[in-house]
Structure 1
Amino acid sequence: MENSNLNISELIALRKDLHKHPKLALKEHNTANRICSFLEKYPPDELITEVGETGILAIYNGSKPGKTVVFRAELDALPIQEINNFEHQSIYEGVSHKCGHDGHMTILCGLAMQLHAVRPETGKVVLLFQPAEEDGQGAVKIAPDSRFQALAPNFIFALHNLPSYPKNQILVKNGTFTCAVNSIIIKLEGKTSHAGEPEKGINPALALAEITASFLGQMQTDITKDNFCLITPIYSKMGSKAYGVSAGSGQTHFTVRSDSNDQMKIIETQLEDTAIAIAKKYQLEIKISWTQSFHANENNTEAVDHVRQSAQVNGFDLAEKEFPFTWGEDFGIFTKLYSGAMFGLGSGELTPALHNPDYDFPDDIISTGVGIFYQIAKQITNAH
């Protein structure tokens, strides 16, 4: 890897500063300002801000026309109270970088260092700092933005650090890399009555129980099988703590996961039809809504081959993932629209899991992330 232009100590300082000042989805104005301040030292040919509200596009142009490649990192943190007490711990109560987005941003900033020193031969390399990945609001705001659409990328890439995998290992997979995920909210309205005269009301308890049992009975939980379906009960509520009152309303929420966007559409319809039929059976009014939707990351084979080649050129350990990850990632919006790939970067077998309150991004994988991205950029924008 050509890392003579990489100032690792400066990148680690940036990563710790970002970790110390986390912001939640669509509140990342301060985070975006910190990124822009850093990029002033390695100025792109074009810097576009407030894309999808708080996003940034940093564009490094080649000397001749050619292909456009985009690399994405996420700006947002999580609503998790950090329990680490190191010097760079979050200064905000109940908000922290527990998914490693501070590290992902830092890797892109390292790529900016490389691109500033050595511009692409042809085409352009674009660094996308995207807001609101965690709640699924970010990519859907970026994708239709005319300033992003004007780039018409030939390829788009993202990585995600992966605890429990060896540090610096590169994990790739053709096809689905992360699941399609959607969350259903079912609200039922009946009729309140005296608890001593429940027959005069319409209590949603049996319907809520039947919906739960029916949903969980539809699961194909073996993720080694095509069209698997994971349904997880998340939240339910019924009535109030008034012991003389038979409840007249209730609600229940589930997350749903599958291995393809097409299969997710089929599952969504099945679940809605099931809930509607059960509500009708118990004479309940029903309202159904969906929230925090994530498209599956369906990787393009040519894009994944670029990752494989980059890992081999760099001498990085390369592993093939057999089955998709069951978590959601809104990068799936981009792989639906463009040839793209998400891949994994091992962050250590002993590193705490993502979204755990003691997680911290390991700084010693930053240079590997920069190296894999930089080589991919060279492969795509090379004039030959």
Structure 2
Amino acid sequence: MFLSNQDVIELTAWRRKLHAMPEISGEEVATAEEVLGFLGETGPDRVVSGLGGTGVAVVYDSGAPGPAVMFRAELDALPIEEVGQPDHRSKIPGKGHMCGHDGHMAMLAALGRQFGRQRPKRGCAILLFQPAEETGAGAAAVIADEKFADLKPDYSFSLHNMPGLPLGHVWLKDGIANCASRGLRITLSGRTAHASMPETGISPVPAVANLMPALTGLGKGSIATEDLVLATVTHASVGEPAFGIAPGYAEVWVTLRSMTDAGMDSLVAAAEALVRGAASEGGLEYTLEYHDIFVHSENDRQAADLLRAAMDAEGVLHEPGETMRGSEDFGRFGSVSKSAMFFLGAGEDIPNLHNPNYDFPDDLISIGTRIFMRVARDILG
């Protein structure tokens, strides 16, 4: 079953409507309502809202025994001011769909239209519009929600558009698809002093000066050898912006990244040891806080093979590609289902993801939908 020209026109218009009304992680109330309204017209057999916060699941059930197959898109945008000038540019100051999640939602809406016209022959198809992917909190919240127990899929599939790859070309590999990562916020507390008598205080400056290169120095390996470990200092502040005060407080933010969750455990231990040592040497108190926690995302071989078969049938070019340094919380669905994610080329000469002038290419809506629909029909009939 294929999308009609009118379908493509309407889905493109809807994608652009979503682009103009971005909501960031955890705030996707209007976006979720828009999804409910658009897909309500397709007559789903079941709708679950408020899933993991603002998430929405739309179910099309054959009424016959069979597997449950889930397709996931993300609801959230980013806290980035859009600088591009499309007619559908963001109307919300300081927020924009700079990652293409608006396009991912349009693909799932296209699936909903097709399942609304013709149900699967067995089992059911689940369209999950997940909140808070950008912070790493959304998938975990969905899985922890008691409402998800009734939806638990046998297979889960997702994609991400990928600038730098030729339009419509796919990277899909077995094994690890995305790295694990987390943000570490370090605070160091001493005692302020008059700038003329710094020796009467306890300054965190030496500790910060030592910590930043030491943390960065934890990095090793590479994606190519599948042993990447990376620590990136993203922010640092020391004291108050005043010339008369020797500082007594500092913060260092660092993003920790590794190929595997086991590698992350080792990296966390090494980073914490560095902080303890620097604080002890400087006579400082310290705290550690973790944010934006992503586990590594790993493709199940059987699920990936199903995607490859669908791409071959649809004439979509694909190759293994490489593990993405960037993180993706879709990996959590691998703990409850056979899951796989692929990367769909958005074009070689367009802005990168999270750039303030990024805009999802509408031509990808039909391509992504065809792949998802083919794998759904292969599994569910």
Give the alignment's TM-score, normalised by structure 2. 0.97
State the SS of the aligned residue for 1:208: helix
Aligned to 2:233: 233
Aligned positions of 1:201-240 closer than 5 A: 201-220=201-220, 222-240=222-240
Aligned to 2:356: 357
Q: Which amino acid aligns with 2:352?
A: A
Aligned to 1:138: 138
Which stretch of structure 1 is more off in the superposition, 218-227 or 89-98?
Answer: 218-227
Aligned positions of 1:12-161 closer than 5 A: 12-161=12-161
Q: Deviations over 1:105-140 (max 9, x none)?
A: 000000011111121111111000011111122112
> How far does residue 320 in structure 1 lie from its aligned partner after superposition?
1.2
Runs of 4+ in 1 over 6 A off after TM superposition: none
Q: Deviations over 1:338-369 (max 9, x none)?
A: 21011111111112111111111111111111
Which stretch of structure 1 is more off in the superposition, 186-195 or 8-17?
Answer: 186-195
Q: Deviations over 1:55-94 (max 9, x none)?
A: 1110011131110111000011111111122211111111
State the SS of the aligned residue for 1:326: coil
Aligned 8 A contact 2:26 2:54 in 1: yes
Aligned 8 A contact 1:72 1:158 in 2: yes
State the SS of the aligned residue for 1:306: helix
Aligned to 1:335: 334
> How far does residue 199 in structure 1 lie from its aligned partner after superposition?
2.0
State the SS of the aligned residue for 1:143: helix
1:296 and 2:296 correspond:
yes
- CA distance, structure 2, for counterparts of residue 40 and residue 242 of structure 1: 58
> How far does residue 221 in structure 1 lie from its aligned partner after superposition?
5.0
Q: Which amino acid aligns with 2:362?
A: D
Q: Which amino acid aligns with 1:332?
A: G
Q: Which amino acid aligns with 1:238?
A: V
Aligned to 1:345: 344
Aligned to 2:284: 284
> How far does residue 336 in structure 1 lie from its aligned partner after superposition?
3.2
> How far does residue 236 in structure 1 lie from its aligned partner after superposition?
0.7
> How far does residue 4 in structure 1 lie from its aligned partner after superposition?
5.1
1:270 and 2:254 correspond:
no
Gaps of 5+ in 1: none
Q: Which amino acid aligns with 1:335?
A: G
Aligned 8 A contact 1:67 1:122 in 2: yes
- CA distance, structure 2, for counterparts of residue 82 and residue 231 of structure 1: 28
- CA distance, structure 2, for counterparts of residue 138 and residue 216 of structure 1: 29
State the SS of the aligned residue for 1:347: strand
- CA distance, structure 2, for counterparts of residue 82 and residue 9 of structure 1: 24
State the SS of the aligned residue for 1:292: strand
CA shift in 2, pair 1:93/1:4, >3 Å: closer
State the SS of the aligned residue for 2:363: helix
> How far does residue 6 in structure 1 lie from its aligned partner after superposition?
7.4
Aligned to 2:182: 182
- CA distance, structure 1, for counterparts of residue 243 and residue 88 of structure 2: 49
Aligned 8 A contact 2:153 2:336 in 1: no
Aligned 8 A contact 1:6 1:113 in 2: no
State the SS of the aligned residue for 1:196: coil
Number of positions where the alignment pairs a residue of Structure 1 with one of Structure 2:
381
- CA distance, structure 1, for counterparts of residue 9 and residue 137 of structure 2: 33
Give the alignment's TM-score, normalised by structure 1. 0.96
> How far does residue 219 in structure 1 lie from its aligned partner after superposition?
0.7
RMSD (CA atoms): 1.4
